[in-house]
Structures are given as C-alpha cells and as structure tokens.
Amino acid sequence: MSRNAEPYPAGDAPALRFADVAMRYGHGPDVLRDVSFELEPGSFHFITGASGAGKSSLLKLIYLAERPSAGRIEMFGQDVVRMAAAERPRLRRRIGVVYQELRLLEHLSAFDNAALPLRLAGHKPAEYRTDVAELLAWVGLKERMDARPSALSGGEKQRLAIARAVVARPHILLADEPTGNVDNEQAMRIVRLFSELNRLGTTVLVASHDEELVARAGQPVLHLHDGRLIPFGGSGGSL
Amino acid sequence: MSAFNPERWKPAPLLPKADARDGSLLFVIAVLVFLACLTCIGALAAHRAAEGWNSQLQGSATVVVRPKGIENADASAARAAEALAGVAGVAEARVLEKEKAQALLEPWLGEEALLDDLPVPRLVTLELSRRNPPTTAALEASLAAAGVDATLDDHRLWIADIERGASLARWTALGVFALIAAAAAAVIGFATRAGLAAHHDTIQVLHLYGAQRGFISRLFQLRFARTAGLAGLLGAGAAAIIGATARLTGGGMGLTPVLPVAWTDLAAIAPAPLLAAAVAALAARQACVGLLKEMG
C-alpha cells in the first residue's frame, strides 16, 4: 500500500465530530439541520437516506468544500470551521474522497490521476511510482495505467477514482455513492476494498442509497431524513 | 499487454495542452497589443511633430525692410542683414532674393502687376540660436542703430497658435494611446478570466486534493502569462514592422513630416509583450485566488 501524506494525529480526539451543524446553499433553506454525531478513528459507517436527504451535503462539509451555516465541526480535534485558509490544504490531504461525479482529470493518464494526491503532497515520483503501480494493479487496472479516463469503462473509472482517493493512505475516506454506476458484483468488490482499508486504520464513511448493499456490509449507519440525522440500526451482516 | 512501464513514468503537466480556446485568447491579445503599439508609435510621432513645429518657429524670425529715402530696398535689406548678423544669438541673417519676395506677393497681386515698379519691401530671414536666442528688443535696437525702416516679426502670434495646436495633438495622441492601452489591459484581463473559467474543474480537483492556493494560482499565472507574452510578441512585432516600413519609406523624417516616425519609437514598444504577460498573469492570479476563496 502507499505512503501516508501525514502522520496520524495523536490523542483521543474523535476522527470527526459534528455538533448541532446546519447548512444551506446561499440564501436557500437549510439542507442539514441540528446534525450531531462522532466517528471514532478507524470506524466504518454508511450514511443512508433518500435522494435529497443531505448525504452529499454532509460529505461536502467533511471534505471542506462547503462551510456550515451553524454548529461546530471538528476533525482530529481541530475546529475546521474557524481554521485558517492556509491550514485547510494540509487537512484536505488527510481526507480521501470518491466523488459521486468522480472528477477524474481527462487530460491525465490513469497513472497520473491516481498519483495526483501524492504529487500535490510534494512527494518525488521515485518515492511513489511503485506504490501507485501496485495500487492500480490491486484495483484491477494493471493493464490500463496509461489510458485516459475517457477510454475507461464506467467500472474502471470508478476504481480509478477509488485508487486516487486511497493512494495517500488518508485518515478519513469519504465515498459518495461509489457503487452508483457498477453492477452488484463490482459494488461488493468496492465495499470489500473499503473494508480492507478500514482494517488498516482508515476511518471510512460511505454515502449510499443502496439499502441492500448497506445491509450486506453490516456496518453502522447514519440515516438522514430531510436534513436531520435520525436513529438507525446497523444490520450486523457480513461481506 | 500494456507497454506502460511505471519505472519510467514521469508526471505529466497538471494543466491540459493548449486548445482552441487558447488560440482565441492568443488572437484577441495579439490584436489588442498590435493596436496599442500602433497608437504608441503614433503618439510618439505626434509628439515629435509638435516639437518640430515649435522648434522651427522659435528658431527663426523675419524682418520686413522698406526703402528709406534715396536708398533702395536692396541696399537697406543688405545693411539690415549685416547689422542683425552682428547680434549675439543670431546664427544667420540672409536677405531673401527679390524674385522670392515677389513670388510671395503674386497670390495677392497677380502675375500682371508690375512688381518691378512697386516699392516692394525686402525680407531678411534670421536663423536664431536654439540655446541662446536674442531678445526682440536686441534685434529691434540693432535695426534702429542701422537706421533702416524695418519691422521685426518674431512669429510670436503664430507661436502661441502653433503651441496650442501642438499641445492638443500631443495630448490627443497620448489620450488615444492611454485609452487603447487601458482597453487592451481590460480585455486581456477579461479574456484571461474567461479562459480560466474553462479550467474550473481542474482547479477544483487540485484544490480538494490539498494543493495550496499559491501552487494552483502559479500554474495558471504561468500558463496565461506565456500565452499573453507570445500574443504580445506577435502584436508588437506586427506594429514594429508597420513602424519600420513607415520610417524606411518616409525618408529622413519618416512617412511624412506631419507624423515623423523614429527608430527609437520602435524601441518604446519593446516592453509590450512583457506588459501583456504581466497583465494576464495578474488577472489569472486574481481570478484564481477569487475562485479558490469561493471554493472554501
């Protein structure tokens, strides 16, 4: 597996803590209201909810693409809302994200896309090229390393986006509907991949509306309904 | 089997290669720099022309000498020229030939007039020192001492008008140049921001994967500065060719005496590509930082 961009923070602080968080886009209505929860380091959770319930908005707050309109968000004990702009890039490097729309850079090869987080973290190519190659082989893209994203199938793109999200061994891995464009078998492969990462210590949070997949994964669930977090029990199943 | 060898991999440029949008940007900036450089050359030539008009008038004076008593006009003019030549600051005093003086009157009196029979005054033209021109009083005193019936015309009436005209020409040219240069800068900035918008997704991905604002804005600064610099080189080069053609085909003073182009004018537009690159880099930086602030 690849190297960590940052050492894991010391202390007993939760990996993620939301306290009475609300969020809205511009002057629109709240899309999240009174959201409070904690994720322990090394935990694995799903976020479920109907379309429009606020799953993607919640993830955007965590990967620092949006700011809450109220409440407090802490990551590794740091208040991310009041954090100076100059410190945010460093925190972002500890978060791996599989975006719903993937956001692969079309002008770069699969290898370059996968290596991007390590490159932006300032590592030299010689330090990570073998790791990236191994990771791409691990997600089944060994023969597609020099292909542009436009030449990859939907499943291959998804796996490439996952490879890019995990290559720097993030402390938190977020995935927004990562199984949306793949069949059931591929979906279970992806969840198993997340589980392997989780076993290596990464805190994983996956947004999905696929209730069957969530039930089979058997991990705890945060359920959103109309922007509010409501109690929901994990199924306790296994992969 | 893929021929890709990870051990020989080198990171690809983070920004896509130039595409059609960059071509349009290049064209727009090149045209604007061309216009700005052309007006710059025009403004400098107008300034030089205005200087020339003033200089020509201030460096000369005319004396009208009339016959006095039994002395004919030719003798009076010769004595006046001799007296004036001795005044400090007079470089040359020359009696205008009779034929030339008569030719000056022809438009008013016609060819049929018996100019030889008329007491036509004679003209003495004075070339004055540019550094230490004599005062009007000194010239008039010299004429009075020589005892000739003469009137000194130091072009004072004309100089005021010419100076006003020259100043107007100079400021108009400068104003047009300033307007075109400002418009060019504004359009370069606007076009750069529009070009940057096309890279919104790339900026967002780099931003969300933890690239520093400075790193991202430097990427785009460099990209747009390079494009604008190249466009500036093309625009300024085209303007320089036109300026050089005007200088070469126009004789010693350029295309026409009205708008004399000098070789030094072409040197004045040399910084244009650098300025275009600087404006584009600044616009790209501002737009990029603004975009990144919006992204959080």
Show the tokens assigned to B252: 């010693």
A142 occurs within a structural domain:
yes
B198 occurs within a structural domain:
yes
Q: What residues are paired with A228 via a beta bridge?
A: A225
Among B residues 123-182, those touching chain A with beta carbons less than 8 Å apart: none
Higher pLDDT, A178 or A238: A178
Please list every residue in chain A whose beta carbon sits closer than 8 Å to the beta carbon of residue B212. Answer: 86, 89
pTM above 0.90, yes or no: no
B182 occurs within a structural domain:
yes
pLDDT at B175 over 70: yes
A36 occurs within a structural domain:
no
Q: How far apart are CA B65 and CA B139, in angstroms?
A: 13
Got the DSSP string for A9-65?
PPSS--SEEEEEEEEESTTS-EEEEEEEEEE-TT-EEEEE--TTSSHHHHHHHHTTS
Domain's final residue, options B121, B147, B173? B147
B120: containing domain: 69-147
- Say whether both B49 and B173 belong to one domain: yes
Q: Which of B7, B15, B209 to mutate to test the interface with A (most CBs of A within 10 A)?
A: B209
Q: Which backbone phi and psi does A197 adopt, to 5 degrees?
A: -65, -40
- Say whether both B172 and B281 belong to one domain: yes
B43 occurs within a structural domain:
yes
A205 occurs within a structural domain:
yes
Distances (CA, A) of B262 to B39, B78, B100: 14, 40, 33
Question: Which residues lie below 8 Å from residue A210, measured CB to CB, with a gap of 6+?
Answer: A179, A187
Cβ count near B135 (within 10 Å)? 12
- Say whether both B124 and B244 belong to one domain: no
Nearest Cα neighbor of B121 from B173, B65, B168 is: B65
Q: What residues are paired with A39 via a beta bridge?
A: A16
pLDDT at A4 over 80: no
What is the structure's pLDDT at A1?
Answer: 47
- Say whether both B24 and B143 belong to one domain: no
The pLDDT-based confidence of A5 (bands split at 50, 70, 90) is very low
- Say whether both B103 and B212 belong to one domain: no
- Say whether both B268 and B141 belong to one domain: no
Q: How far apart are CA A159 and CA B97, in angstroms?
A: 100
pLDDT at A209 over 80: yes
The pLDDT-based confidence of A237 (bands split at 50, 70, 90) is very low
In this prediction, the answer to ipTM > 0.90 reads no
Indicate the number of domains in chain A. Answer: 1
What is the distance in angstroms between the Cα of A76 and the nearest Cα belonging to chain B?
17
Nearest Cα neighbor of A42 from A218, A173, A198 is: A198
Please list every residue in chain A whose beta carbon sits closer than 8 Å to the beta carbon of residue B2. Answer: 142-146
- Say whether both B106 and B232 belong to one domain: no
Q: How confident is the model over A58-71, as pLDDT tens digits? A: 999 999 999 999 99
Got the DSSP string for B83-142?
HHHTSTTEEEEEEPPHHHHHHHHHHHH-TTS-GGGS---EEEEEEE-SSSPPPHHHHHHH
B101 occurs within a structural domain:
yes
The pLDDT-based confidence of A233 (bands split at 50, 70, 90) is low
- Say whether both B89 and B126 belong to one domain: yes
- Say whether both B241 and B200 belong to one domain: yes
Q: How far apart are CA A27 and CA B156, in angstroms?
A: 72
Cβ distance of B11 and A107 shorter than 8 Å: no
- Say whether both B41 and B120 belong to one domain: no
- Say whether both B221 and B263 belong to one domain: yes
B213-249 and B200-208 helices cross at what angle (nearest 10)? 150
Interchain contact B211–A (C-beta under 8 A): yes
What is the distance in angstroms between the Cα of A167 and the nearest Cα belonging to chain B?
11
What is the distance in angstroms between the Cα of A126 and the nearest Cα belonging to chain B?
8
Q: How confident is the model over B23-47, as pLDDT tens digits? A: 888 998 999 999 999 998 988 888 8
* A40, A24 contact by CB (below 8 A): no
Q: How confident is the model over A138-177, as pLDDT tens digits? A: 888 999 999 999 999 988 998 999 999 999 989 999 999 9
Chain A interface residues facing chain B, Cβ-Cβ under 8 Å?
A: 5, 63-67, 85-86, 88-93, 97, 103, 105-109, 111-112, 115-117, 119-121, 125, 129-130, 132-133, 142-146
B154 occurs within a structural domain:
no
What is the structure's pLDDT at A57?
Answer: 95
- Say whether both B98 and B221 belong to one domain: no
A167: containing domain: 42-56+89-228
Nearest Cα neighbor of B67 from B57, B53, B77 is: B77
- Strands B122-128 and B60-66, sheet pairing: antiparallel
B286 occurs within a structural domain:
yes
Q: What is the CATH number of the domain that holds A157?
A: 3.40.50.300
Higher pLDDT, B207 or B21: B207
Domain's final residue, options B115, B147, B179? B147
Q: Is A20 left (phi over 0), alpha (psi -120 to 50) or beta?
A: left
- Strands A203-207 and B149-153, sheet pairing: unpaired
Q: Which single residue is written with the structure tokens 């999200």?
A: A165
Question: Which residues lie below 8 Å from residue A34, measured CB to CB, with a gap of 6+?
Answer: A20, A21, A22, A71, A228, A229
B6 occurs within a structural domain:
no
Q: Which residue of B has its CA nearest to A129?
A: B6
Please list every residue in chain B whose beta carbon sits closer than 8 Å to the beta carbon of residue A113. Answer: none
B250 occurs within a structural domain:
yes
| Average pLDDT over all residues of chain B | 83
Indicate the number of domains in chain B. Answer: 2
